[in-house]
Structure 1
Amino acid sequence: MASGKAVAAGALRTVPLAGELTASLINRAADRYGLAAAHVLRLWTCRNSPTRHDGGGLRADAEVVLNEAGRRVLAELCGVEPQVLARALPAFTVQDAEISTGREAAVAQARWRAAVAVAGPAAFGCRLCTARRTGQALRAVRYLPRWRRVCVRHGRWLLDADAVGGAAGQAGAGRADEGRGAAADRRGAGAPGSVGPGARGPLPRPA
């Protein structure tokens, strides 16, 4: 990685989650280094701007597509082999002609796109599961069809990543269910196909 970026590439390992948005992994990698995501994004030449809500906030389902040089930079940043990223990140191998060809193809480049246009609808991941798997108390955003928008382990809905206030809603539900979810883990309560500790009925379906 080029010098002067103030990031010691690969010094800290950030492992991707299955189905995670590339933009979500970049956010988590930035947090691992104690940096703002905007700072880490300077590692790539961004050819456009991410989609924002009417209030100006960045949409959580904003996705990043990288060219070949950009993929190598992400692999180096995360300390993970490109093959691992390709298996975990649905958008990692997506080609964008605007950044994959031409005189600057050798420069690490990125283009922002809507997740649904890249690999399908996206949802906020369960914060407790993300913390358990990564050691980071952060939200992750993953490609998930709507019929999979529930965390059975912790009994919580996984809200659409494009919903205004969705992050706060999911986090609030997490705080309310955190104690109950931990208790369910300890006692192994809840029959297969149930939601929440001790639940007996079938899985409720997302609206």
Structure 2
Amino acid sequence: MTVPPARGPSSLLFPSLPCAAGVRPLPRETTLSFVERLASRFGVSAADVIAEFFASGNRKPMSSLTADGEVYFNAEARARFATLSRVPPEHLRRALPSWTRFEPAGRYDTGPAVTFYSVGSISPTGTACTRCSAARTGRSDPARLYMAAHQRLCVRHQMWLPGTQDVPDQNSGRSQLSLAQLPETVQALGRHTALLRRREHAADAYTVAQAIIATWWDAARPEETAWARRLDSLARANPAAEHWSRAARDAVTYPDTVTLAGLLASPFWQHQVLADTGRHRPHVPADTPSFIRELALRLGRPWLAGVLADSDSGPLTAWLQACWRSRAGERERTVSMWRVAPAYRTPASSGCNPDRPSRTAGTADEAEADAGGDTAQGFARGLALARTFAAEHGHLCIPYRHEKDGFQLGLWLSNQRATGPQ
């Protein structure tokens, strides 16, 4: 098969290589971010560079390239970019997590190939600290890094680094939030890193805790004064902080999220959930009184125990039920207690395995969970529909495939019978 020749660095678009010298990748930088910074030295865009290097059959349409996504190169393409950037391939492999993680295949048998993925299909990314980047590169070009939850804070400059989706303008110099007046947020990083060392599922617990805290933030209860005080301090140091409400929320609630994650990741308190319920399924947080009292105590909010006792839905209820189903992680072949339901999932918690882009939106276990009532909201709806059916028909012999108002009532009832109190 004839392969159309791909244009290389000798093209008119790149008349000289020395001007690219000095562009070095940052640790944990996305490949697309590095390509953008490299292209800026030539005065062109990343799309121009990619279009110049690859035959049209060996790349997706350029409309698939998004500014907050990622690009993956095959071996020949990586060699071309190493030559263009004048960075040794081994240095690129160490600095760029996705440099060799995924091998795209073009329509041709040979030649450089590239593929694009959107931000929702890759691991979470965030904006690099502009002052750290300038110190490393000598330029103020914006950069994006792969960021775990504990890497969202630059301790050296006391800056909160928003996630890629938190920033409306990737090129805005105001995308960093100063934490100069929030010492408790900076101090929480030490507790977070210690938790990650001590607990096996600490990273997963933080994701669940973040979803729980987000629902409390949206409730905006008058008793919650600590967050209001922190938000005022953040606003004074960052006049434009209101433009990134999600980033501001994460920075303000970070100490409490770390504290809650420590409780969720504790094997003792996971088993206490089972002890509180007598190993029966909890339907509301009030079914686990010892757990919610400990939660309120650790967060320093005595009033929270009463609020949670009166609630009947949300990601906390979903976690309590998942903890019971898995018997505090001891029972196999159950939906993981660390899964966050799509309704409560935030962009920061929807990242995928960095080793490979995701290809599906969920698993079979997730689909079954969402269909049947693995959240308190699903249980409440299923219970109401079951009562209505019983009142109309005088029994609950519901066919397995029976649906009511789009709810799979037969499947839900079958699941309740299979996983009921034991």
TM-score (norm 2): 0.38
Identity of paired residues, percent? 25
Matches within 5 A, 1:52-71: 58-60=66-68, 62-71=69-78
Q: Which moved more, 1:155-164 or 1:65-74?
A: 155-164
Give the corresponding residue for 2:394: none
* Alpha-carbon offset, residue 138 of structure 1: 1.3
Higher-Rg structure is 2
1:33 aligns with 2:36: no
1:113 aligns with 2:113: no
Give the corresponding residue for 1:202: 187
Instruction: Write 1 or 2 for the structure with the bigger share of strand.
Output: 1
1:43·1:73 contact (CA, 8 Å) conserved in 2?
no
User: Cα–Cα, structure 1 residues 156 and 50, in superposed 2: closer, same or farther, change >3 Å?
Assistant: farther
Q: Which amino acid aligns with 2:187?
A: P
Report the Cα distance in structure 1 between the residues aligned to 2:155 and 2:44, rounded to whole angstroms: 33
Report the Cα distance in structure 1 between the residues aligned to 2:13 and 2:175, rounded to whole angstroms: 37
Count of matched residue pairs: 178
Q: Which amino acid aligns with 1:81?
A: P
Give the corresponding residue for 1:82: 89
Give the corresponding residue for 1:122: 125
Report the Cα distance in structure 1 between the residues aligned to 2:84 and 2:130, rounded to whole angstroms: 23
Report the Cα distance in structure 2 between the residues aligned to 1:147 and 1:6, rounded to whole angstroms: 40
* Alpha-carbon offset, residue 196 of structure 1: 3.3
* Alpha-carbon offset, residue 77 of structure 1: 1.4
Q: Which has the higher contact order (CA 8 A, sep 6+)?
A: 1
Give the corresponding residue for 2:30: 21
Give the corresponding residue for 2:141: 138
Report the Cα distance in structure 2 between the residues aligned to 1:172 and 1:22, rounded to whole angstroms: 23
Deviations 1:110-154 (A, max 9, x none): 100135644x21111111111110011111101011221011122
The RMSD of aligned alpha carbons is: 2.9
Equivalent residue in structure 2 for 1:73, among 65, 73, 80 = 80
TM-score (norm 1): 0.73
- Unaligned 5+ residue runs, structure 1? 53-57, 178-194
Give the corresponding residue for 2:207: none
- Unaligned 5+ residue runs, structure 2? 1-7, 189-250, 258-422
1:9·1:79 contact (CA, 8 Å) conserved in 2?
no
